Structure 1
Amino acid sequence: MTDTAPAARAPAILSADDLERVSRLIYRHTGMTFGESKRYYIERRIADRIARTGARDVRAYLALADTGAEAEQIVNAFTVNETYFYREEHQLAALSNAILPEIVRQRRPGDLVRIWSMPCSTGEEPYSIALWLLENWPLVDAYNIEIVGSDIDTAAVARAAAGRFNARSLARLPDAVREAYFEPEQRHSRKIIDDLRESVHFTAANLVDPASVAAQGKFDVVLCRNLLIYFDDASRAAAAANLYDCLNPGGYLCLGHSESMARISDRFTLVRLDDAIVYRKP
């Protein structure tokens, strides 16, 4: 198998059966649902992977795609990595104004507090947590804050660990924050300073796989934003169970603004904070 740059990226023409096979493959690996309504999206990515692997046609590629390294590559090709710094800032405000003060109320200085950003995409989400706490939570240095960023997309995780970002990702950061924590590089990109980059630990994880989630350990806060919208009911239920299990008692879960646990799980308690609506493990 080769992984050279494709000579062309004309869409592969998938039969209805091929489209169903691709959709089942992605669902089995990620819990995300695709179908006829996403045909153009699917065909572009399959055409790219056919060109990169040198497979002779769609059928040959699909035989390859469920095995070894190519299974990882096709998952990476279909994950969505749309994000930027300080996205849904109101939840970051809730984190510093209410969630963490409540969590540390019965902790001692120096105690461990674990925060999980899942999915972390290319790093903007977990680094935003670190930046926000440094700038907005006076007690940030009084506790051992561990931030973990995880994603099913291994290529995104590698980019996150590298800590390089373009102007679009950084656009919503205050100028003072951007200047203090990011070093200019070529072509308007910036690299996050080493001290901050090393403060976030990155891992590959699959939210619908209990063993994968359990391997990350227990957390006091989980930010799982804009992922459940890509799942069907069965995958949402599996994800909710895994999120519940990975939280410490009294831990908090933050979802995206268009997401809710109301029709997924009754195990969480809804909490209305001044800045955001979140969920708590009793």
Structure 2
Amino acid sequence: LIAQQKMELEQLVEERTAELTHSLAELKQTQNQLIQSEKMASLGELTAGIAHEIQNPLNFVNNFSEVSIELLDELKEELAKGDTEEAIAIAGDVSQNLEKINHHGRRADSIVKGMLQHSRASSGQKEPTDINALADEYLRLAYHGLRAKDKSFNAELITHFAQDLPKVNTIPQDLGRVLLNLFTNAFYATQQKSLQLQSSGDVYKPVLTVTTMQIGNEIEIRVRDNGTGIPEEIQDKILQPFFTTKPTGEGTGLGLSLSYDIVVKGHGGTIDIESEEGEGSVFIIMLPLK
């Protein structure tokens, strides 16, 4: 009887273990889908900003190309007349235009590469990264992304980037996602405050300030906004998965929790929040140099 009960118990344990294993696999799959959904959402935020950013260098390329075609026609005329001095001057203008075309073409290329880097899966390989350049790139993309949705929105962008900041070993596309998330949230907070104050007639100017500096063996990135702020009672929850202050359908609640994981678990750093409701928020990222 004992042997039979033991066999039945073992069989029951095996069944329960199989069920738990299956449930765990389903949970992991759901988690991966949600994380991918958040990544695609951040990519969507970038799309409008990238479209705006890439239009500027493309306009320069088109304009300088058209002017160069006209200059080459003039060059042919001057050569036909035998006026070599004027022909040399025109050739110099064409050369300058080609340099400008090359410069703006490279700018467009870097924007596209940045987009591809953001969208592709992380390789997990850390590389020396210019934090100032990364922050500046994502700040402009986040801003133009919001302005593409709301043409009336304007904000003052202030950067205090420390000179000669040493490069940090990071996974650039992951840290880029963190910065994009912080910038997008900051702009959202200032946009909401602007909408709240419109009815009262109060004068309000959205301001986002990004500061970088070296403190000992760490690099600090501060993202400060003068938006709605975060109520004190939920500040300890803001980094938890699926917690969001945005209306249903406007946020996944994963952005800040993924940012926390990338900074803390992925880079051995810290992310802290200082906020006062109605006054604004500061997100502080600390990244170790070694």
Q: TM-score, normalised by structure 2?
A: 0.22
Larger radius of gyration: 2
The answer to which structure has the higher helix fraction is 2
